[in-house]
Amino acid sequence: MKDNGMEVINTRVAHAGWDDHRYFGYSVFNELAGHETYTGLIGLTVHGRRISSEQVRILDDIAGAFAVAEPRIYALKIVRLISSFGRILPACASGILYMEDAIIGPWTSKYAAENLVELDNLIGSNLDDNEYVTKRTIEFLEKKKRLKGYGVPFRSSDERIRAIRKCIERRERHTRRVWRLFEAVSDVLRKERGLEPNVSTALAAVYLDLGFTSDEIPVIATALSHNLLLANAIEEAKQKSPALQRLPEDSILYVGKARRKSPRAVAAGQDKGS
C-alpha cells in the first residue's frame, strides 16, 4: 500500500486514539491497565501475544535469580563509567548498547538456545538413553568446537543456575523437555569435557520451555535485567565518582610504542614548543 507515493509501514505494535489506545491488539485502558503486570507487558511486547500468569511468575523468578548488579561486572562497569557524569539514562542506554552480539550478557542465551534446539533435534525421543545423549552431545561439541553457554569464568560453577534450578523445581517445571535436555547435556559435558554450563544455557532452557524462540530470548532477558542497569546508573549519577570520570594516571600502564620523533620533526631538526 502506498500513501502519497510512499510505501506505508505496517505496525502491529500500537495506535494512539482519542479516548483509548491500542497495544498489540488490546485496548490499553480496558484490557491492559489494571489487568496486566509489568512482566506480562514485557512478555506481550517480545512475544507479540499475552503470556499466562504462570509464565509471568516464572519470568519474575528468573529476573530475581538474575539480579546480580555488582558494579564491577563488565556491563555494569560501563553503566557506572557513563553515569559518573551525572545522568541516568545515557548510562542505561550504554549498558544496553554493549549487549547485542556481545560474548557475555543476555545475547549469549540466544546462541545457547540455538544449541539446545539443535541438540533437541539430534537427541529427539532418546533423552533417557544416557549412552545416546553422550554420543550425540560429544559429536555436537566436536562439530561446534566451542559451545556458547558453557564455561564459567573465574569460578567453578555458575551460582545463578542453582538459584534458577530451585525456582523451577518449586514451580515443578524441572520435568519440562528442554530443562531436562539442558541437565542431561550438561552432565555429559561436565563428565566428558569438564565443561560447566553458565547461566545463559539455563536461561535458554527455561525460556524455550516457556515457548519463547531463540530470537526472542535475548530480548526478553535484556528487558528483564534493566533493573541492574538502573540500580548502578541511579547511584553513580548521584555520586559522580572522580575515579570513574578519570582514573589516576598511576593506575594506567602504557604498553604502546616508545616515544619517538616524527619524520617532519626530524627534518625540522627541533622539538618545537618544548
DSSP readout, 48-101? SS---HHHHHHHHHHHHHT----TTSHHHHHHHHHHTTS-SHHHHHHHHHTTTT
x/- binding map, residues 91-110, to another protein, per CB under 8 A? Answer: --x---x-------------
4-12 CB contacts, 8 Å cutoff, 24+ apart: 12/48
Distances (CA, A) of 156 to 74, 100, 190, 194, 201: 19, 26, 11, 10, 16
Residue 125 binds another protein, judged by CB under 8 A: no
CB atoms within 10 A of CB 83: 29
x/- binding map, residues 153-192, to another protein, per CB under 8 A? Answer: -xx-------------------------------------
Task: Provide the minimum distance between the beta carbon of 159 and another protein in the complex, in angstroms, as a whole number.
Answer: 10
Task: Provide the minimum distance between the beta carbon of 107 and another protein in the complex, in angstroms, as a whole number.
Answer: 15
Residue 253 binds another protein, judged by CB under 8 A: yes
Task: Provide the minimum distance between the beta carbon of 2 and another protein in the complex, in angstroms, as a whole number.
Answer: 9
Residue 6 binds another protein, judged by CB under 8 A: yes
Residue 243 binds another protein, judged by CB under 8 A: no
Task: Provide the minimum distance between the beta carbon of 181 and another protein in the complex, in angstroms, as a whole number.
Answer: 29
- Residue 16's DSSP bridge partners are 21
Closer residue to another protein (CB): 128 or 255: 255
Residue 18 binds another protein, judged by CB under 8 A: no
Q: How many residues bind another protein (CB under 8 A)?
A: 45
Q: HSE-up of 87 (CA within 13 Å, CB side)?
A: 5
Closer residue to another protein (CB): 128 or 243: 243
Task: Provide the minimum distance between the beta carbon of 100 and another protein in the complex, in angstroms, as a whole number.
Answer: 10
Closer residue to another protein (CB): 72 or 143: 72
Close Cβ partners of 62 (under 8 Å, ≥ 6 residues apart): 164, 167, 203, 206, 224
Closer residue to another protein (CB): 33 or 97: 97
Q: Which of residues 34-73 bind another protein (CB under 8 A)?
A: 70, 72
Interhelix angle 199-209/108-123, nearest 10 degrees: 60
Close Cβ partners of 73 (under 8 Å, ≥ 6 residues apart): none
Task: Choose the stretch contacting another protein; rule: CB under 8 A; options: 59-67, 90-98, 109-117, 182-190.
Answer: 90-98
Closer residue to another protein (CB): 59 or 218: 218
Report which secondary-structure segment, H or E, holds 14: strand 14-16
Indicate the Cα dihedral angle 228, 203, 162, 38, nearest 10°. Answer: 50
Closer residue to another protein (CB): 142 or 255: 255
Task: Provide the minimum distance between the beta carbon of 273 and another protein in the complex, in angstroms, as a whole number.
Answer: 6
Give the span between the Cα atoms of 58 and 38, in whole angstroms.
13
Q: Are 165 and 202 in contact (CB under 8 A)?
A: yes
> Cell 543476555 belongs to which residue?
106
What does the binding site for another protein look like in residue numbers (CB under 8 A)? 1, 3-4, 6-15, 22, 25, 70, 72, 87, 90, 93, 97, 154-155, 247, 249, 251-265, 268, 271-274
